[in-house]
Amino acid sequence: MNDVSGWIFPGQGSQRVGMGQQQLERSSAARRVFEEASEAVGMDLTRLCLEGPLERLTATENAQPAIVTCSVACLAMLEEQGLQPAAVAGHSVGEFSALVAARSLTLAAAVRAVRKRGELMAQVTEPGGMLAVMGLDAPRVQELCEAVKRDDVLVVALHNSPGQFVLSGSPAALERFQQRAIPAGASECVRLHVSQAFHSPLMGRMLEEWRAVVASIPLRMPRCPVILNTTAQAVKTLVCIRRSMVDQLVAPVLWMQCVQALVGLGITQVLEVGDSKVVSSLARRTEPSLRTATAQILS
C-alpha cells in the first residue's frame, strides 16, 4: 500500500454470531490470540464468537472482550504479513484494541479490563437508552437536546459522522427528542437495542470503581500515535490514556473528530481491523477523500 495507513478498530454493536471465523480458519496467530484471551478472562471466547447464542454474545460483559479479541486476531494476521500502522484509533471499547496495536497494552490486560468494564456497566440500574439520529448536523442536534431534555439526562454520546449522532439519556427525554427530530429535518431516528445510557452521566454510579480498575492496568507509551475518543488528540502521556479510559464512560465518543485528527497526521487510508465494516464506513462519510479498507480484503 502506498497510502499512509491508519488502523481503526470497531466497538460495541459490531458483534455478531460467527465473528472471527475467517481469522480462526486462516491464521495460527489468530487462533493463539483467541486462546490467550479465553484463558485471560476464563471463558471460551472462540465458542462464544462462533456459536453465540446472540443474546449471550450481545451482553455487554461478553461483547466487549469478544470484540477486542476478534480485532486483535485480525491485528495478528496483519502483523504476520509484515504490516504496521502509522497511527491508530478505536471506537469506544475499540480504543482498547487500538492500544494493543500500539503496544501500549497487552492482549491479556485489555480483555480482562474490558470484561470488568462490561460487568460494571451491566450493574447500572438507572433506566436509560440510546437513539441514533441521521440527517441533522451537530448544532441542530444539540439545539434539540437542549429544547427537550427538561430535567432529564440527554446528551450526544457518539459523534459518529457529520450526519450521524447517537443520543444517550433517560427514556422520556429520548422519546421527546424522537417526536421532534423528523419535523426538524432528521431523515431517520432509530432506538438502539440497549438497556442503558452508555457514554452519559447515567453511567456515573460505577465511575469510581472503574477508576480504581484503570489505575491498576499496566500501560506503556505507544509505539505510534493513538487518537483518544474523549479528546480526539494523540496520546502524550500515560495519564492521558488512563483519563480517557475513565472519562469515556460518561463522556461522548468524538469519533468523527478522531478521523479528522488522523487526516491531520497525514493519514490517507484507514484500515478497519476487526470483523466489521462499521467504523471505516463512518470514516468515509466524515472524510470522503480517505481510502478505506477492511482487514478481510488484505487477508
pLDDT in tens, 105-120: 999 999 999 999 999 9
Q: 252 and 113 in one domain?
A: yes
| Residue 232 backbone class (left: φ over 0; alpha: ψ -120 to 50; beta: rest) | left
Which whole number is the average pLDDT over 154-163? 98
| Predicted structure pTM score | 0.95
Domain end position, chosen among 145, 175, 195: 195
Of 104, 199, 244, 276, the active-site residue reads: 199
Say what the pLDDT of residue 295 is: 81
Which whole number is the average pLDDT over 55-61? 94
pLDDT in tens, 242-258: 999 999 999 999 999 99
Q: 234 and 112 in one domain?
A: yes
Q: 186 and 211 in one domain?
A: no
| Residue 13's pLDDT band (cuts 50, 70, 90) | confident
Q: Provide the number of structural domains found in the chain.
A: 2
Task: Quote the CA–CA distance of 137 and 16 in Å, as a whole number.
Answer: 30
| Residue-range definition of the domain harbouring residue 76 | 5-123+202-298
3-class secondary structure per residue, the chain: CCCCEEEEECCCCCCCCCCCHHHHHHCHHHHHHHHHHHHHHCCCHHHHHHHCCHHHHHCHHHHHHHHHHHHHHHHHHHHHCCCCCCEEEECCCHHHHHHHHCCCCCHHHHHHHHHHHHHHHHCCCCCCEEEEEECCCHHHHHHHHHHHCCCCCEEEEEEEECCEEEEEECHHHHHHHHHHHCCCCCCEEEECCCCCCCCCHHHHHHHHHHHHHHHCCCCCCCCCCEECCCCCCECCCHHHHHHHHHHCCCCCECHHHHHHHHHHCCCCEEEECCCCCHHHHHHHHHCCCCEEEEHHHHC
* Catalytic site includes residue 199: yes
| Residue 296's pLDDT band (cuts 50, 70, 90) | low
Task: Quote the CA–CA distance of 78 and 120 in Å, as a whole number.
Answer: 32
Taking residue 286's Cβ as centre, other Cβ atoms within 10 Å add up to: 23
Of 38, 92, 200, 280, the active-site residue reads: 92
Task: Quote the CA–CA distance of 75 and 294 in Å, as a whole number.
Answer: 11
CATH of the domain at 255: 3.40.366.10
CB 219 within 8 A of CB 238: yes
CATH of the domain at 166: 3.30.70.250
Say what the pLDDT of residue 3 is: 73
Say what the pLDDT of residue 2 is: 58
Q: Which residues contact 142 (CB under 8 A, 6 or more apart)?
A: 156
Task: Quote the CA–CA distance of 176 and 24 in Å, as a whole number.
Answer: 45
Q: 178 and 101 in one domain?
A: no
Q: Inform me whether the pLDDT recorded for 299 exceeds 60.
A: no
Q: 209 and 183 in one domain?
A: no
| Residue 131's pLDDT band (cuts 50, 70, 90) | very high
Q: 136 and 113 in one domain?
A: no
Q: 265 and 144 in one domain?
A: no
* Catalytic site includes residue 92: yes
* Mean of all residue pLDDT scores within the chain: 95
